[in-house]
Amino acid sequence: MPEVREALARLDVVEPTLCAFHEVFRSPDLDVDPSLPFAGMPIAVKRGERRSHREALVAKGCIPIGLTTTPDGSTPWQTWGRNSRGVTRNPWNLDRTPGGSSAGSAVAVASGVVPLATGVDGAGSIRVPAAWCGVYGLKTTSSERAAVGVFVRDPSLLMTYLDLDEVSSPTAVWSADLGFADVDDEQAGIAWRAAAPLSPRPVDLGLPDPADDWYAHRCGPSPVLDELFQTADLLLTPTTPGPPHGHDGPGSRINTALTWTFNLSGHPAISIPAGFDAEGLPVGLQAVARHGREVDLVAAARLIAKPPRLGPT
């Protein structure tokens, strides 16, 4: 499979610097039915994720080439990964974190090793690294706090991943802070401008800060969100309140401030590349949809999509 050989060759170029893989499969199983929708597509798999998710992608013809890095428990934060060679680095700036906990998966896609990588989103663990690495990161609908999903550079891959054939034209509303978060003006401005193709209507949203519910493990319906989704298909926000931090940690900032509400409520969500800040670091636009309406997230991603760019590393 030429795609697999190319992926492994690209991995050899960038991996010594980026440290995105925990384990590499040098002799993957190449016996794939060519009629499958993802036949021969090399993918990266988040270390420790659900086996059923990986198996579902293999059943579509994907070929895993390795397990990606996650946090190793040596710090109190979950916004970066590590392997035996060092910390996982953001391909746009090696001194910054790629986000986490699906750190290596985001980097594997952003650096051009694979077109798709798996992740698990526990509090923004797909969407935050997707935003900071400049790729698409989808969290699916879930009745639990953690939801499976994927990273891609090409949003059209999401249609096949989700087995979608429907095309939608979603309506959207916008909130820069969900009513409680402290968001940098630059992050909000870049995300707002990227959302223009959806013509979002600003709303005065009054969601409560989810921190207390998160630490008390309280999940379930949100009356505010239930009411909002009676009037619009999508809620748009910046994905993160600020840019990626350094490898010394996030300080007091809660980088999941805009994402973890939707882990508690179970709504599907996606981070869409929105542009770059004054330091040349990627910024993400988050879209949140009704339960089971991932099709509206894909529609938003494809409408906003810009030509993919690889991290300069």
224 has pLDDT over 90: yes
Peptide bond into 101 cis (omega under 30): yes
Sign of CA dihedral 112, 113, 117, 121: negative
Tokens of 205: 């949203």
pLDDT at site 207: 93
Would you say the C-alpha torsion 231, 264, 297, 78 has a positive or negative sign? positive
Nearest C-alpha neighbor of 266 from the set 222, 300, 236, 301: 222
Cα radius of gyration rounded to whole Å, the chain: 18
Q: Give how far Cα 53 sits from Cα of 21, 57, 64, 161, Å.
A: 18, 7, 12, 11
Q: How far is the C-alpha of 133 from the C-alpha of 156, rounded, in Å?
A: 19
User: What are the residue ranges of helices labelled H in the chain?
Assistant: 2-18, 51-59, 103-110, 127-133, 157-161, 185-194, 211-215, 223-228, 261-265, 294-304
Residues 292-296, mean pLDDT to the nearest whole number? 98
Domain ranges of the chain: 2-161, 172-304
CATH architecture assigned to 2-161: Alpha-Beta Complex (3.90)
Which sequence positions are flagged as catalytic?
Answer: 46, 101, 125
SS3 at position 250: coil
* Residue type (1 letter), 105: S
Please, which residues bridge with residue 173 across strands? Answer: 201, 235
pLDDT, tens digit (0-9, with 9 covering 90-100), for 110-125: 999 999 999 999 999 9
**pLDDT tens, position by position, 133-162:** 999 999 999 999 999 999 999 999 999 999
pTM, rounded to two decimals: 0.96
The number of C-alpha atoms within 13 Å of 197 and in the hemisphere containing its C-beta is 15
| Overall average pLDDT of the 207-229 stretch | 91
CB 163 within 8 A of CB 295: no
| 3-class DSSP state of 198 | helix
In 3-state terms the chain splits into helix, strand, coil percentages (rounded to 5) of 25, 20, 50
pLDDT of residue 260: 96
State the Cα–Cα distance between residues 143 and 110, nearest whole angstrom: 29
At 1-25, the pLDDT tens digits run 789 999 999 999 999 999 999 999 9
**What does the angle CA 236 – CA 291 – CA 175 come to, to the nearest 5 degrees?**
15
For 224, counting Cβ atoms within 10 Å of its Cβ (0-12 exposed, 13-18 middle, 19+ buried), the class is: middle
Residue with tokens 């988050």: 286
